[in-house]
Amino acid sequence: MNRTGLIALAVFILLAGGILSLGPTAQRRLSASVAMAIAPMFNASSDVGRKIRAYTTGVKTLGELEADNARLRAENEQLRVANQLSRDLSEENGKLRDALGFKQRSNYRLVPARLIARESATWWSQVQIDRGTQDGLAPDLPVLTEAGLVGKTTTVAGRTSYVLLVADENCKVAATVENTREQGIVSGTRTSSGQQPEMMLNFLSKAAELKPGQKVYSSGVTGGVFPSGLLLGTVAEEPKVRELDARARVTPAVDMSRLENVFVIVPGN
């Protein structure tokens, strides 16, 4: 054993002897002093341990965070769609809808759906979704996204339905232009295969003074398929006057080439 080890051993023997030579009372006092000296260290480590455990138990896994984000995005999208239905479009006189109209507007539910099929020959005319009669769907129900109106249901089966897009010339929607008294009919135009069709607002008055960027909404005519307040698009250019009326090109609110998730407006009880 080297010199340092011998010195340490001698010190230990002296200390041990000193402690043993003390009486019982002195030994208890010494033990209490040592315990009081080291207690803060144990308490500190205990506090640190509790903090670490609290932090680790409060942290979610990456998968849980992704699931939460997906759920919140879906809820946010549905709220924006519902907001379209609650929009008040009485811009002509600045008054609220009458009681009957408000009751009809609030009497609905939104059924989420997903596109499952789309054929190249009818790419701009119709799509197929994964909801049907078993989900409460029927023909002639409005279909929309958070961006605006998509179209309406046509053929409905048990678990699937076809949707006629507003870009098709056979889907006609009564419409009104914001901040004006102008009303007309929005419909698609026939185009060659593969080319996105234009949407036109027809039957405007010859004196219509529309400006690019003005929003076009469904007007919700009595007995029609589409409720009022659904965004169709924006005026793309000033109207062109014809012999009996005027018409204006409309930029669609919804990008029909990127449809994935939609909502179907189903009348409530």
Q: Tell me the pLDDT tens digit for each residue of 192-230.
A: 556 678 899 999 999 999 999 999 999 988 778 999 999
Predicted local confidence at residue 69, as pLDDT: 79
Q: Please say whether the dihedral angle defined by the alpha carbons of residues 163, 81, 269 and 94, taken in this order, is positive or negative.
A: negative
3-state secondary structure of 140: coil
Q: Which H or E run includes 182?
A: none
Between CA 24 and CA 33, with CA 28 as vertex, the angle to 5 degrees is 150
Q: Please say whether the dihedral angle defined by the alpha carbons of residues 94, 99, 100 and 102, taken in this order, is positive or negative.
A: positive
The model's confidence at residue 91, banded by pLDDT at 50, 70 and 90, is: very low
Predicted local confidence at residue 137, as pLDDT: 97
Across 224-244, average pLDDT: 92
C-alpha pair distances (Å), 215 with each of 41, 88, 89, 113, 156: 70, 14, 11, 26, 31
Count how many Cα atoms sit within 13 Å of the Cα of residue 8 in the half-sphere of its side chain.
5
Predicted local confidence at residue 220, as pLDDT: 86
Predicted local confidence at residue 145, as pLDDT: 93
Supply the mean pLDDT for the chain.
Answer: 78
The model's confidence at residue 98, banded by pLDDT at 50, 70 and 90, is: very low
Q: What's the burial of 201, exposed, middle or buried (CB within 10 Å: 0-12/13-18/19+)? A: buried
Which residue, chain included where needed, has tokens 């759920």?
71
Please identify, in words, the CATH class of the domain defined by 64-267: mainly beta
Give how far the C-alpha of residue 251 lies from the chain's centroid of Cα atoms, to the nearest Å. 23
> Where exactly are the structural domains of the chain?
3-58, 64-267
Q: Would the pLDDT of 242 be above 70? A: yes
Predicted local confidence at residue 7, as pLDDT: 66
Q: Would the pLDDT of 154 be above 60? A: yes
**Cβ distance 231 to 149 under 8 Å?**
yes
Predicted local confidence at residue 128, as pLDDT: 97
Q: What's the burial of 224, exposed, middle or buried (CB within 10 Å: 0-12/13-18/19+)? A: middle
Predicted local confidence at residue 46, as pLDDT: 52
With a pLDDT cut of 90, the percent of the chain lying above it is 47
Across 32-52, average pLDDT: 53
φ, ψ at 49 (rounded to 5°): -60, -45
Q: Would the pLDDT of 130 be above 80? A: yes
Taking each continuous run of H as one helix and of E as one strand, the counts in the chain are 4, 13
**Cβ distance 217 to 145 under 8 Å?**
no
The model's confidence at residue 13, banded by pLDDT at 50, 70 and 90, is: low
The model's confidence at residue 1, banded by pLDDT at 50, 70 and 90, is: low
Predicted local confidence at residue 268, as pLDDT: 74
